[in-house]
Amino acid sequence: MSESWPKHDMSFLQGRRPRRLRRTEWSRNMVRETELLPRDLIWPLFVIEGQNERTQIKTMPGVERLTIDLLVEAAKAARDAGIPALALFPNTPDHLRSEDGAEAYNPDNLMCRALAAIKSAVPEIGLIADVALDEYSSDGQDGLVRDGHILNDETVAAMVRSALVQAKAGADIIAPSDMMDGRVAAIRHALDADGFEHVQIMSYAAKYASCYYGPFREAVGSGSRLRGDKRTYQMDYANSDEALREIEQDIAEGADSVMIKPGMPYLDIVRRAKDAFNVPIYVYQVSGEYAMIELAGAAGAINRDAAVLESLWAFKRAGANGILTYYALEMARKLGR
């Protein structure tokens, strides 16, 4: 058989055979350009009122909302797996939601109590506090609304108050996710003036008006009450130069790191940001991305575990320093092994 197989003149390769490097696993590992480690992963967690309770999120199979006591246990598991930080999102009870979102700056709100409990029990892990009003407002918008319009400066003032109570409760990183103009500078000034110079700001600098947030809005209880859309403040997904302008402005205003959201559909933005700016770049593998992998895996359309790994490596390859992902604990444990 081998004698009858036609032989071709391959001299044109001049010794260049890239497959030699891919022939064995040890060789592939030796020349691998990108690393994916537990320290690259940030775990988003949803918190609810109650004791020893967990509730399923219908559109996010395998993800649960947790009461504070269970959140503390999750934080311990994350620490033990090598995850450096958690990102917290509260599901505020309906009776505490209002048009002005005042619960956002109640120092005894659900978010602040969760921050304090985790910081007391697991001081080694970083805590990232989301700052936006959609988790506290009765209309599901990230900003205050008047006559159908989203108010910028009034929203920023409310967010500053929210950031301060979160910092006092133990937040290590304030993460404004609203996309209001000037909020990074306002929050930085307020934190510094109140003695929180050490608290970082991770700005959602390029947050697109995306359909991929649907399951998240169910998780925090804002989806069913959302009136209108968020296109007047979140970014148009047709634009990429605009993202660089937004990132540049947030860095100038004092952001220590920036985030791009969603993740996989915006890898081009991650790459451009990494090339353009000398700050840590984070990406959020959002709820819709998670749901697509889970549902496709359950349907047998893809290998779920392989898809998870491939997606996370894509974020790192694009230039992300870290990834917010609901797979953080699962993948940190696998990568640790």
The pLDDT tens digits of the residues spanning 133-174 come to 999 998 889 999 999 899 999 999 999 999 999 999 999 999
pLDDT at res. 222 = 80
Judged against a pLDDT cut of 80, whether residue 50 lies above it is answered with yes
Q: Which residues of 30-42 are buried (b: 16+ CB within 10 A; e: fewer)?
A: eeeeeebebebbb
When pLDDT is cut at 50, 70 and 90, the band that residue 223 belongs to is: low
In the residue annotation, 58 being an active-site residue is answered as: no
Binding site for Mg(2+), by residue number, is 246
Active site residue: 261, 274, 316, 334, which one?
261
Active site residue: 119, 207, 230, 316, which one?
207
Judged against a pLDDT cut of 60, whether residue 227 lies above it is answered with yes
CA distances from 209 to 89, 94, 214, 255 (A): 19, 25, 11, 21
Mean pLDDT score, 210-235: 86
Mean pLDDT score, 272-297: 97
Domains annotated on the chain, with CATH: 36-336 (3.20.20.70)
When pLDDT is cut at 50, 70 and 90, the band that residue 8 belongs to is: confident
In the residue annotation, 230 being an active-site residue is answered as: no
Task: Determine what percent of the chain is predicted with pLDDT higher than 70.
Answer: 96
pLDDT at res. 229 = 86
Mean pLDDT score, 228-251: 95
When pLDDT is cut at 50, 70 and 90, the band that residue 228 belongs to is: confident
